[in-house]
Amino acid sequence: MPDDPFLPTRPPRRTHETAEFWDGCAAGRLLLPRCDDCHAYIWYPRLFCPHCSSPRVTYTEVSGTGTVYSFTVVRKGAGAYREFSPYVAAYVELAEGPRVMTNIVGVPVDQVHVGQAVRVVFDPAGDADAIPRFTPS
Binding site for other proteins (CB under 8 A): 7-10, 12-13, 15, 17-18, 40-46, 50-51, 69-81, 84, 87, 89-91, 97-103, 114-115, 131, 133
**CB nearer other proteins, residue 18 or residue 60:** 18
DSSP E strand boundaries for 4-107: 31-35, 57-61, 65-74, 87-94, 99-104
Contact residue for Zn ion among 51, 56, 82, 113 (CB under 5 A) = 51
**CB nearer Zn ion, residue 35 or residue 109:** 35
Cα separation of 56 and 3, whole Å?
45
Q: List interacting residues with Zn ion (CB under 5 A).
A: 35, 37-38, 49, 51-52, 54
